[in-house]
A and B are shown apart, each in its own frame.
Chain A
Amino acid sequence: MTFLSALRRVAIASSATAALAGSIVSPAMAADRELLNSSYDIARELFATLNPEFVDWWQQNHGESVEIKQSHGGSSKQARAIMQGLKADVVTYNQVTDVDVLAEAGLVAEDWQQQYPNNASPYYSTTAFLVREGNPKGIDSWDDLVADDVEIVFPNPKTSGNGRYTYLAAWGYADRAFDGDEDKIRDFMKQFLGNVKVFDTGGRGATTTFVERGIGDVLITFESEVNNIRNEYGKDDYEVVVPPVSILAEFPVAVVEEYAERNGTSELAHGYLDYLYTEEAQRLLAGFNYRVNDENVQAEFAEQFPATELLRVEDVFGGWDEVMDTHFSSGGVLDQLQRR
């Protein structure tokens, strides 16, 4: 008897909590509809700025008040959560492969890369270097990174998309420098990987190691991150070096059709992605140190983004499936290069 009454009390308490939680989720000034954007880890500040602008934009154009919710995390983890049932309406990731996984699962349209301009990547970035004040080791390009006395910090390609881009950029450079001679490329890569001092699991971890711990001569990460670090930790202590050749890092977006339809948000979700391509949004994105395709905005920010040749993964490596298979799978080229 006492057990049953205790149970009942628990039941009452939990339903009360649920009611309370429900009221938090849908605030008094209820938005007509809401949208869940599943995004990568370091995009918090970006979407915190973009979303209110979109809400205004949607209100003006469609006379409907909407609410955008964000979920952030490592983008592979995020994709996994959606496959396991998280009902996100749109995804804005930093790795093409993570959207591909969703497409394979039938949650995202198969031709998602054709649905929006530039391979469904409203903004892009590349891999750049952050060196210490005065660039004491004279690092200007990839071949300066294989010198014996240079210590490198970048995130682990095995656990971080950011790290994978760095690996691919170095490979792409070597591929060109040695005219595709695979033995020489591998030697170069071995030296390059051998100079790595610490392999953090993610981009922010690598930043901490380089900036806070003072480890390494050069940090390799997204250009957008490099610039943010310089702004955050002092313009005088660090210098940004954009190598003459680097890799194109796309930031793919897609509507999770399966869930958006069920949530009744399909056209809102597509509208959200359309918005990312407007001049207004592109200007905001450029403000966060991402490169954009809008010509007006490009001209405005020309000084901030030095011209550099960007290699496409599809051109150099034949696509992401190919890259993941040959380079990053277990026993792949990366494993071979790191073997003792």
Chain B
Amino acid sequence: MSTLALLGRSAPKRVLPGFGLSLGITLLFVSLVLLLPLTSLVGQLASVSLSEYWAIISEPRVVASYLVTIGAAAGASLVNALFGLLMAWVLVRYEFPGKRLLDALMDLPFALPTAVAGITLATLYSSSGWMGRLLDPLGVEVAYTWVGIALAMAFTSIPFVVRTVQPVLEDLPREIDEAALTLGASDATAFRRVILPNLWPALVTGTGLAFVRSLGEFGAVIFIAGNMPYETEITSLMIFVKLQEYDYVGASAIASVVLAVSLALLLALNLWQGRFIRRLHGGKG
């Protein structure tokens, strides 16, 4: 009731009924599922002083893990941006046998337990695995290195890029590129000046989501990382280690760093996207 009263003043009369109820349920759900756990996480931190907090999150080994995690996540996201775009393109613009199957396959990384993905990748890319055996003579080591971490992250986060770009591409009328071509643009120019600007917000959002997902990934990475201190330890592992030591505060402190970075990035993406779309529509909307 209070929600209704609060909103009643400023909100104009709505055509669809049930706004108060549905917003109330939404807020309740968000509180239970998202805010409550987050609050208890932050609550854990209430027992440490700022200097202790800083000491935990700036420990050299933990800092090294940030660098490994962010570096690998960035690498994975860039690769995903490129190949995710390509896959979305292929799935939308061409007809070929097995297209439905390929489309369904795109979601597999979401469905597969990440630990299974990690173990499978480690098996494939270790020096005795199918892929590893081919790469080993070339001097390329994937499993148990930084590259392996990025590979696992790329695997678990590729659907984010494909699934955000795909619907936008589907809505993009083919006439647009045909018009560009008839006006004398080369294929490359048409893609760069006409198609890409339309896909840009979706591509950046998808890549951003993939990046944030990679920051927190544990299951898939842990089996292929090798977990050597300072070299291939990811931040999630540092959190896991703290939990093993019954050091909940330490775990929460490190987790809060990952959380803050992710939140800041997601917020920035949202703001940027809003501005981009406003600009696209010439200041309206």
Contact = CB atoms under 8 A, between A and B. Distances in A.
A198 B226 contact: yes
A3 B122 CA distance: 49
A262 interface: no
Contacts, number: 71
A214 B126 contact: yes
Given A159-B240, A330-B245, A3 B21 contact: yes
A138 B237 CA distance: 34
Interface string A200-212: 1100010011001
B227 A199 contact: yes
B228 A199 contact: yes
Contact of A213 (B60, B129, B240): B129
B167 to A, nearest CB: 30
A198 B246 contact: no
A72 B270 CA distance: 43
B85 to A, nearest CB: 33
Contact of A208 (B119, B228, B250): B119
Contacts of B227: 156, 198-201
B230 A76 contact: no
Contact of B123 (A200, A201, A213, A329): A213
A156 B222 CA distance: 12
Contacts of A190: none
A183 to B, nearest CB: 21
Interface residues of A, number: 30
B127 A214 contact: yes
A127 to B, nearest CB: 19
B113 interface: no
A80 B246 contact: yes
A201 B143 contact: no
Nearest to B246: A101
Contacts of A199: 226-229
Interface in B94-130: 119, 122-123, 126-129
Contacts of B250: 330
Contacts of B247: 330
B228 to A, nearest CB: 6
Given A159-B244, A328-B245, A330-B247, A213 B143 contact: yes
Contacts of B144: 197-198, 215
A339 B227 CA distance: 14
Contacts of B243: 76, 80
Contacts of B60: 339
A302 B55 CA distance: 52
A132 to B, nearest CB: 12
B175 interface: no
Interface string A211-229: 0111100000000000000
A329 B244 CA distance: 10
Given A213-B129, A213-B143, A328-B245, A340 B222 contact: no
Interface string A322-340: 0010001111000100111
25 contacts: A3-B21, A76-B244, A76-B246, A80-B246, A156-B227, A156-B241, A159-B241, A159-B244, A197-B144, A197-B226, A198-B227, A199-B226, A199-B227, A199-B229, A201-B240, A213-B126, A213-B127, A214-B128, A215-B127, A324-B245, A328-B245, A329-B245, A330-B242, A339-B60, A339-B61
Interface of B: 21, 59-61, 119, 122-123, 126-129, 143-144, 222-223, 226-230, 237, 240-247, 250
